[in-house]
Structure 1
């Protein structure tokens, strides 16, 4: 999956989750995806390649970076809690959806109960 396809899949899946809002910022060019006013996913184009930046459990983030060459520490974010995914042969749609879901849930779980949307349902790749 190339970087543009990665961003397309991530965008389509993220915007289908409950109570997600989208914000486009210029200078630099960023797309922000929020739930309850908190960012759970960002997209931008690094020099030469589009990336998707997602929140991740710190222990799982280490494993993802070790397993997938396309997943690195989060660009321009806290390197412990965020990952960046670029296009590459080892990423597929199911993994991208799983990463987006995990990021979304990590943010939702930290929201006050009064601001939490309906549970997004079972993990789509479980």
Structure 2
């Protein structure tokens, strides 16, 4: 996955905005004001921090060397995924969608319904 594909995919979900609270080099993708993906899109290798179910995160890290504990994040809930490595693009997309869904699941019910994700 390349940087433009990553950006386009993250922005394809409902109510997502790209923000730059840490400076122009770090894209922060938010849903309803809550972070679900963070990436320095111009860096190599291309990595993205994604929220992950804490029960699944260790399994993913054990199975894929390109998935590690989240850089500068809560290591229990966040993974750093090297998106332009040997991981299949479909897996990266699924991890991004899972991150989005986890964040949406934590929103108030009215917000979830507005986003069509009860």
Q: TM-score, normalised by structure 1?
A: 0.81
Q: Which runs of 5+ in 1 are unaligned?
A: 121-126
State the structure with bigger RCO (CA 8 A, min sep 6), 1 or 2. 1
Q: Which runs of 5+ in 2 are unaligned?
A: none
Q: How does 1:63-82 map to 2 (within 5 A)?
A: 63-82=59-78
Query: CA shift at 1:63, angstroms?
Result: 0.7
Name segments (4+ residues, structure 1) moved above 2 Å. Answer: 7-10, 24-29, 45-50
Give the structure 2 partner of residue 124 of structure 1: none
Q: TM-score, normalised by structure 2?
A: 0.86
Q: For residues 28 and 13 of structure 1, what CA distance do their matches in structure 2 show?
A: 19
- Cα RMSD after superposing both structures: 2.2
**Is 1:104 matched up with 2:107?**
no
Q: Would you say how many aligned residue pairs link Structure 1 and Structure 2?
A: 115
Higher strand share: 1
Q: For residues 39 and 32 of structure 1, what CA distance do their matches in structure 2 show?
A: 7
